[in-house]
Structure 1
Amino acid sequence: MSLITVGVEEEYVLLDATTWLPVPAAESVRAAAGLEPTVRESEIQDELLQVQLEVATPVCSTLDEVGGHLLRLRQALAAAAEAQGCRLAATGTPPLREHKPPSVTDGARYRAISEQAPQLVAEQLINGMHIHTAVPDPEVGIAVLNRIRPWLPVLVAMSANSPFWDGEDTGFASWRTIVFGRWHVSGPPPHFDSLADYEQRVERLSGTGTIMDRGQLYWQARLSDRYPTIEVRCPDVQLRAEEAVMLAGVVRGLVATAIADARADAPLTVPPPELLQAANWQAARHGLSGHLIDPEGRRRSAGDVLAELLDHITPALDASGDVRQVTSLIHRLLREGTPADRQREALARGHFGEVARMITSETAGW
């Protein structure tokens, strides 16, 4: 089993250092971070809203590379944000927000999206992480999509990091998943019969005029239009860089396992869309604190489903040298809870300022 390269994109929100409200300082923070000799201009990108920034790692061969790049980029942006009087926050939703809509980043595409869905854009204060894993060709990519599809709700549960909205507890571990699911082409992807089927469906969607381009295929996993990769988009951005590393390792393990199983013509689980949607909702609602719906559609404890996931990908993790690191991080996740659990624990110690301080501290790894 050859080593599969991986890259990670992370979205962050900038918070005012006093009020902890999102602050439209992306341009100045990006400019300040660009002065750092350790940061390349291409590694920091604008996002839809001026309160957000995105980073992208280079293509990586090892999880240590992924972690090193994420920590380097987070610390550079955190220092730049502090110099501008704000703080960098890796949270799926900010704990607090102003009631007036945040400013949209200047650009023709962002303006068009805002005109297309004004209220959705006004509430798009959500931050995710995208994991790109290399695939040999698009046909294999479709086989991978079909085989990792039943596991996407488990990734949602593991990554839950957005319990708060407007200064209230939503009752969901990943409110970001619910907010993002309101877009026209979103949620778990359908099963595809072939690459031709995928392309035909995308062309038909494009022909309706409801999506402007393939960038608006907001499925939780898709073929990348820019790189020879599968892009898994369902996780919330993670509080800690090492939690992002864990998810990158799990996704690479899933992709490597899917490639091997497709080549061996192993049996394929195809959950119906309504069951997968229910599993996704359940994962967003409870994270790892309740039951999950496993790839076979069975209601099971979160611990049992994660044990099944590890069993499923362990040969691939062993082949890439990731088994000890990923297993250790998953065991810690089960002990300490998800980032959403830790946000709620911070609130129980005080108020939303305590939550914001915890988030920004863990984001930078300081």
Structure 2
Amino acid sequence: MDAGTGTADGGRPLENTGDRPTVGVEEEYLLLDPDSGLPLPRVDAVRAIAGLHPAIHHDELQNELLQAQVEVATPVCRDLDEVGGHLLRLRHALAQAAETSGCRLAACGTAPYAPSVPPEIVDAPRYHTIRQVVSLLADEAMINGMHVHVAVPDPQTGVEVLNRLRPWLPVLTALSANSPLWYGSDTGYASWRTVVFGRWPISGIPPHFADAADYERRIDHLLEARLIRDRGQLYWQARLSAKFPTVELRAMDVQLRADEAVMLAGLVRALVVTAIQDAAAGRPPAPRTPESLEGAAWHAARYGLDDTLHDPDTGLSRPAGEIVRGMMDRLGPVLEALGDTRAVAPLVHRLLSEGNGADRQRRYLAEHGRPGLIAMIAAESAAS
């Protein structure tokens, strides 16, 4: 599921390089039966086969809560071409291993079809404890996200970034929405993963923090009160990594296409750099209330890019295309300075024109039925 297990924050530590912070990406995938589209508990076989691939490092493959899931983590990357190369390499190796194991790799935010019995969890003490604590939520954990780590120089800067990213999280949810189907039905939501993940404790948009000390005090209280067992169980859509000097954005569904994952990684890095610049210049975060942000997050998960989004500055509703184009205008100079414009801008325009993953899943299901949908998901997930 979407990091609900509190697993590692990435394959290897990220580091900061001045005005060009490094970036890393984690992706979670499902393993589906090629005919029925039902999740198959084949993670051990898939990881064993993929781990023999000479281009795969063992740190890059990770378990998730369910045996029908697998997670990857890229190495530290200095530019988006590196991110794309690693994601394609990892997806291709896992897709081959999945096919050898009799299943298909699926980069979709939810399992479009699911068995009537609860899914099998990975046989490890941590996962059994989580299953015991969260009960039915573990049975609904067939959800996949992508997490983007961006290096920050220190925790105080990281908290300044978190405070300024909060209004942008719904926009990222809308852009990345890729989970409209659940247990064989169209949910009516663009990102049903966001709704399911929001049921977990300490989730959703993070609160505003006074400073890094306030961040630490509040987490220490959650630990002391035994509301979480460790910092991996902070399920906020954005948080500071417990292991590495990074801000981790977790508001996004995993992407059908690797190039769209790269685009989102570029947007996240540009948002982080912009937030750092704003903090250094003394520009305060947008004055958004918690209820306004939670409402905007629900709206983004419900409608994706098909309706309106809420302006990160004012909180007022405007057409989604206007919000996205305004974001690109704001981030344009930073994207150019980072050398990321080419990998981001054309993909954003394509997304506005062709729709996000949720739109494509719905179209394929309507035009080609269940077999066509599963074939499309597998083909786009493994495309190189």
Query: What secondary structure, in the 3-state scheme, does the structure 1 residue paired with 2:65 have?
Result: coil
> 179, 204, 207: which is aligned to 2:221?
204
Q: CA deviation at 1:333?
A: 0.5
Q: CA deviation at 1:211?
A: 1.0
Q: CA deviation at 1:107?
A: 1.3
- Give the equivalent residue in structure 1 for 2:57: 40
- Give the equivalent residue in structure 2 for 1:79: 96
Q: CA deviation at 1:94?
A: 1.3
- Mapped to 2, the partners of 1:230 and 1:87 lie a distance apart of 32
Regions of 4+ moved over 3 Å? none
- Mapped to 1, the partners of 2:307 and 2:253 lie a distance apart of 18
Query: What secondary structure, in the 3-state scheme, does the structure 2 residue paired with 1:329 have?
Result: helix
Contact 2:34 2:374 in 1 (8 A): no
- Mapped to 2, the partners of 1:348 and 1:17 lie a distance apart of 19
Give the letter for the 2:297 counterpart.
N
- Give the equivalent residue in structure 2 for 1:117: 134
Q: CA deviation at 1:270?
A: 2.9
1:96-115 aligned at under 5 Å gives the runs 96-115=113-132
- Mapped to 2, the partners of 1:250 and 1:18 lie a distance apart of 36
TM-score, normalised by the number of residues in structure 1: 0.99
- Mapped to 1, the partners of 2:243 and 2:48 lie a distance apart of 25
- Give the equivalent residue in structure 2 for 1:252: 269
| 1:36-72 deviation digits (Å, cap 9, x = unpaired) | 1111111011101000000000000010000000000
- Give the equivalent residue in structure 1 for 2:5: none
- Mapped to 1, the partners of 2:258 and 2:39 lie a distance apart of 21
| 1:283-341 deviation digits (Å, cap 9, x = unpaired) | 00000001111112110000110011112211211110112321111001001101000
Q: CA deviation at 1:18?
A: 2.2
- Give the equivalent residue in structure 2 for 1:339: 357
TM-score, normalised by the number of residues in structure 2: 0.94
Q: CA deviation at 1:19?
A: 1.8
Contact 1:146 1:270 in 2 (8 A): no
Q: CA deviation at 1:197?
A: 0.8
> 44, 49, 55: which is aligned to 2:66?
49
Q: List gaps (5 residues or longer) in structure 2.
A: 1-17
Q: How many residue pairs get matched?
A: 366
Query: What secondary structure, in the 3-state scheme, does the structure 2 residue paired with 1:21 have?
Result: coil
- Give the equivalent residue in structure 1 for 2:240: 223
Q: Percent identity?
A: 57
1:169 paired with 2:186, answer yes
Contact 1:150 1:270 in 2 (8 A): no
Q: CA deviation at 1:268?
A: 2.0
- Give the equivalent residue in structure 1 for 2:199: 182
Contact 1:95 1:352 in 2 (8 A): no
- Mapped to 2, the partners of 1:106 and 1:138 lie a distance apart of 35
Contact 2:77 2:83 in 1 (8 A): yes
Contact 2:31 2:68 in 1 (8 A): yes
Give the letter for the 1:263 counterpart.
A
1:119-138 aligned at under 5 Å gives the runs 119-138=136-155
- Give the equivalent residue in structure 2 for 1:154: 171
Give the letter for the 1:238 counterpart.
Q
- Mapped to 2, the partners of 1:121 and 1:135 lie a distance apart of 33
- Mapped to 1, the partners of 2:287 and 2:197 lie a distance apart of 24
Contact 1:167 1:352 in 2 (8 A): no
Contact 1:291 1:302 in 2 (8 A): yes
- Mapped to 2, the partners of 1:304 and 1:228 lie a distance apart of 34
- Give the equivalent residue in structure 2 for 1:261: 278
| 1:235-289 deviation digits (Å, cap 9, x = unpaired) | 0000000000000000000000011111111132131110000000000000000
Contact 1:246 1:329 in 2 (8 A): yes
Contact 1:92 1:236 in 2 (8 A): yes
- Mapped to 2, the partners of 1:8 and 1:336 lie a distance apart of 24
Q: CA deviation at 1:106?
A: 1.4
- Mapped to 1, the partners of 2:111 and 2:207 lie a distance apart of 30
- Mapped to 1, the partners of 2:139 and 2:322 lie a distance apart of 39
- Mapped to 2, the partners of 1:361 and 1:77 lie a distance apart of 13
Q: List gaps (5 residues or longer) in structure 1.
A: none
Give the letter for the 1:275 counterpart.
S
Q: Which moved more, 1:259-268 or 1:59-68?
A: 259-268
Give the letter for the 2:209 counterpart.
F
Contact 2:364 2:373 in 1 (8 A): yes
Query: What secondary structure, in the 3-state scheme, does the structure 1 residue paired with 2:362 have?
Result: helix
Q: CA deviation at 1:143?
A: 0.2
Give the letter for the 1:139 counterpart.
Q
Q: Which moved more, 1:271-280 or 1:347-356?
A: 347-356
Q: Which moved more, 1:53-62 or 1:261-270?
A: 261-270
